[in-house]
Structure 1
Amino acid sequence: MHSILLLSALALAQTPTDNTPVQPRNPDEILAAQHAAYDAIANVPRETPTTRVARAVQPSVVFIETEGSRMVRRGPFGSTTIPVQGAGTGVVVHEDGYVITNYHVVRGARRIQVSFAGEPVRHLAELLSYREAEDLALLRITNKGSLDPAHSANTSEEQPLGLTSAGIVRRAPKVIDIPPRPYPAVRMGTSSDLMVGEVVVAVGNPHGQQHTVSNGIVSGLHRDIQAQNLLFRDLIQTDASINLGNSGGPLLNIRGELIGINTVMNVSAENIGFAIPVDRVRDVLEDELFPSAHRAWIGIDLGEGQTVTSVVAGSPAAQAGLCAGDRILSIADRPAASPVDWTHASLQLTPGAPSILMVQRGPQEVRMTLIPWSKSSGILWKHLGLRVREVASGRTPYIVVTAVREGGPAADIGAQIGDLIPAVRPMEAGSRPASLVRNRRDLAAIVESMTTGTMLEIDIYRDDDRNQEYGYEELYKGALLKH
């Protein structure tokens, strides 16, 4: 206690009592020190790995805007439709303009537009295919679009769309033709070797702030998350900022390679976001989204080395002269000698439009002209052995058989050209009741959903008395086996 009191007394004794002001540092010294500090960092590179990634990937990232509608109640007596808008992000995965994004970004949209950073054009895009359980969708950029209003000098050419629910006239920019061009695609990486703590970069359009870049780290791996009525498994967790509008955008490693698609965030916490691993994205693209996106059907199966293993009898390929053993070289003037090249080249085929097919047959290259069918026509021909077209009997639409493949399921039950098909019913466990069939797409969708080897009960009207009228006595029933 004595020593403590002594120290306190000494401290009091040393305290100035004359209020002498403390002398500041020499201002010249302060300025000189500051200048020296700035000189020392003047040549420090401002470019960082994040800036390099942002510059590399920016041409591949698109801002997605959607327009749709939804029903809302207007008091106790009814409801009305109101317009809704949405936004998100996507990334180009092939130079032909194929874009991957989250399905929830474009679900229910009647109009989809995409735009690139620094460009005055908004491209119209079409939804080609989706996998709702994985929350992934494949878009294609079209050759139609509009000028961004901020860049359009002549807004008088805008076209009225009508009145909104608030009574205000809405206008849409004039649609213009956009010259086709290759689109820069993101470089694909792998998610199989990700490390917790690894630096990552997220690019997106949070809250409409276009082409925003943020960085962070991989905070965790193999996360299972319940969101949007879906269970997401094996996600990447990151603390890079992922907000509303980032959905569908790329998560990249420090080499600028795609390692995930940003999909969900934890709204109750900060800096917790999740991305779908790129390896799963790649599998869904190759196994589901790209195959489902085909509009045309030619009727072949391919094996190793792009060798034709089978040709469906009577199909476009058979009509063109393609044979088992032929090796595909190109189609529609595009190389198709690898599975990836074939996938993207065949996506360009249009039903009914002739395309040149080049194949290797023994030592010779053979050129042939191929006229693809629609995908729905191909499904019916391959699995049921028939082709149909839409007709109307009175006010009721039906489909009528226009061709029957010899030896096919339809031929086996005696189906004939001219038969009308009003309804079908899959005969498998848990199947739904009979469905009315109004067009070939309806029938194709039912057939495609069935398991190979199951039966399809089918109703057929046949004009036996040739009076162009169909009575109950002219109704036949049969069952087709899906091949």
Structure 2
Amino acid sequence: MMIRRMLFIITLIAFVSTSCFAAQRRTPVVDAVSKAREAVVNIRTEKLVQRRNSRFFGFGDSIFEQYFRDLLPAQSYKTQSLGSGVIIDAEGHILTNAHVVDKASKIFIALSDDQPELEAQLIGKDNRIDLAILKIVEAGDYPFLPLGRSDDLLLGETIIAIGNPLGLGHSITTGIISSLQRRIQIDQQHSAVFIQSDALINPGNSGGPLININGELIGINTAMATQAQGIGFAIPINTAKRVLSDLINHGRVRPGFMGLLVGAVSPTYVKSHGTGGVLIEEIQAGSPAQKAGLLEADVILKIDGVAVAFPEQYFSLRQTYTPGDRLKISLLRGAKRLTKIVELESLPLGYELSYTRRVFGFDLYQRRDGVYINKVIAGSVADKVGLQRGDQIIKVDNVRVANLTEYKQVIEYRLGRRPLTFTVVRGNVGYRVELP
């Protein structure tokens, strides 16, 4: 009897010890991952690429290429790329990076490492913000991760990145938030604000979720080329929340119309006021900006609490807002600080072309082979730089425009932004002009 009692006690002690050790191992990170991991998907894309071997060696993107590249023999081949995404509703909508699915002819997702792939379709994307929405083709009730918020994050708080690094399947990395608003220059015209952490973000992690210790979605991981090691970046989830409706319902992000032309404040202004800002140079009559009471010569200091020290910051932030959004504008009028609420509107029909005429001074028309200048207004900016009737515009800020639709799409994201660089062809000569 005594032996049985001793065995029972030993067994009980072993069981309790094991349970205690298991409880100690179940950290907040483990709990957060358990909440989120079923909503994380691996993404595989197929792309059909056509490549023409140029015979115009040494000329790069030359006028020869512009006119004769279609005559060169083409070779077609398939390529594959890998990435991550996160399901954000039970219907199977997936949030990921735009570059993960860029130019994809087919998209496949896997809910876990051991499940078969499902086909997904692209619903909408925006390359400037680097966000895309996919939808799983097969109907179902899918596990999802609700959108959290990124406006209450704390420096130093623990974060977790989940993704498909290097195509190896679901992997977890942890770290802390190093910066809440790290501005990164994407290219010559664009910069963006990211959450910076020390969680490792490898190729394949792009598009996966960044979550906090409560398992809440706070960002979308973005793999970026950087010289530094141990630095990860994520698009704040509040940025995604502002554009989700447009991506799902319109397939793209419609820029909200404000009706401003802005410029940089002078170095003297910065020195005397101790801060930068964006100078309002012109307000269009009847625009949302005028209705809200903004005036020319006002200096915009913040939009929704985010500082805008120079025009590039203003444009990068504004492009994440859509029609109907209400912006809280903090500004300086003389020595007085004011706050105005501007409700963005949809861009008026044909506004891109009327804007081109009003700001730069030329009209456009479309031919079968591209976009051409129909008229140059005497004394305008276009006239002063030498543009002429019959010139063909093939690029704006290095973005190709093959027709008026593409031209308008490029301009609508650059309203109020100056200077713009136009690549023009006249006869057999191509050149670039900068319009201030």
TM value normalised by structure 2: 0.50
- 2:203 aligned residue: 244
- 1:434 aligned residue: 366
Q: 1:101 aligns with which of 91, 96, 99?
A: 96
Separation (CA, whole Å) in 2 of partners of 1:39 and 1:249: 34
Q: 2:105 aligns with which of 98, 102, 110?
A: 110
Contact 1:265/1:272 (<8 A) preserved = no
Contact 1:112/1:124 (<8 A) preserved = yes
1:113–1:194 Cα change, 3 Å: same
For residue 58 of structure 1, report the CA deviation from its aligned partner: 1.2
- 1:255 aligned residue: 214
Q: Deviations over 1:338-365 (max 9, x none)?
A: xxxxxxxxxxxxxxxxxxxxxxxxxxxx
Unaligned residue ranges in structure 1 (runs of 5+) = 1-37, 144-179, 295-382, 385-424, 452-483
For residue 49 of structure 1, report the CA deviation from its aligned partner: 1.5
Q: 1:213 aligns with which of 149, 162, 172?
A: 172
For residue 82 of structure 1, report the CA deviation from its aligned partner: 2.1
- 1:58 aligned residue: 37
Separation (CA, whole Å) in 1 of partners of 2:210 and 2:403: 40
Partner amino acid, structure 2, of 1:49: P
- Is the aligned partner of 1:83 residue 2:78? yes
1:237–1:181 Cα change, 3 Å: same
Unaligned residue ranges in structure 2 (runs of 5+) = 1-16, 56-71, 253-348, 370-401, 413-436
1:380-419 equivalences under 5 Å are: none
Separation (CA, whole Å) in 1 of partners of 2:404 and 2:117: 34
- 1:329 aligned residue: none
Separation (CA, whole Å) in 2 of partners of 1:447 and 1:266: 30
- Is the aligned partner of 1:270 residue 2:235? no
Partner amino acid, structure 2, of 1:87: L
- 1:130 aligned residue: 125
For residue 113 of structure 1, report the CA deviation from its aligned partner: 0.6
For residue 284 of structure 1, report the CA deviation from its aligned partner: 1.2
Contact 1:266/1:272 (<8 A) preserved = no
1:249–1:431 Cα change, 3 Å: farther
1:115–1:230 Cα change, 3 Å: farther
SS in 1 for 2:104: coil
If asked which structure has higher relative contact order (CA below 8 Å, sep 6+), I would say 2
Separation (CA, whole Å) in 2 of partners of 1:40 and 1:83: 52
Separation (CA, whole Å) in 1 of partners of 2:105 and 2:119: 11
For residue 223 of structure 1, report the CA deviation from its aligned partner: 0.7
Contact 2:113/2:170 (<8 A) preserved = no
- 1:203 aligned residue: 162
SS in 2 for 1:434: strand
Separation (CA, whole Å) in 2 of partners of 1:277 and 1:448: 28
Separation (CA, whole Å) in 1 of partners of 2:224 and 2:85: 17
Structure 1 runs of 4+ with >4 Å offset: 38-44, 73-79, 425-428, 442-451
Give the % identical residues.
Answer: 34
Partner amino acid, structure 1, of 2:249: P
- 1:188 aligned residue: 147
SS in 2 for 1:59: helix
Separation (CA, whole Å) in 2 of partners of 1:86 and 1:230: 27
Separation (CA, whole Å) in 2 of partners of 1:431 and 1:68: 38
Partner amino acid, structure 1, of 2:153: L
Contact 1:89/1:205 (<8 A) preserved = yes
Partner amino acid, structure 2, of 1:290: I
- 1:120 aligned residue: 115
1:248–1:229 Cα change, 3 Å: farther
Contact 1:134/1:232 (<8 A) preserved = no
Contact 2:194/2:235 (<8 A) preserved = yes
1:95–1:431 Cα change, 3 Å: farther
TM value normalised by structure 1: 0.46
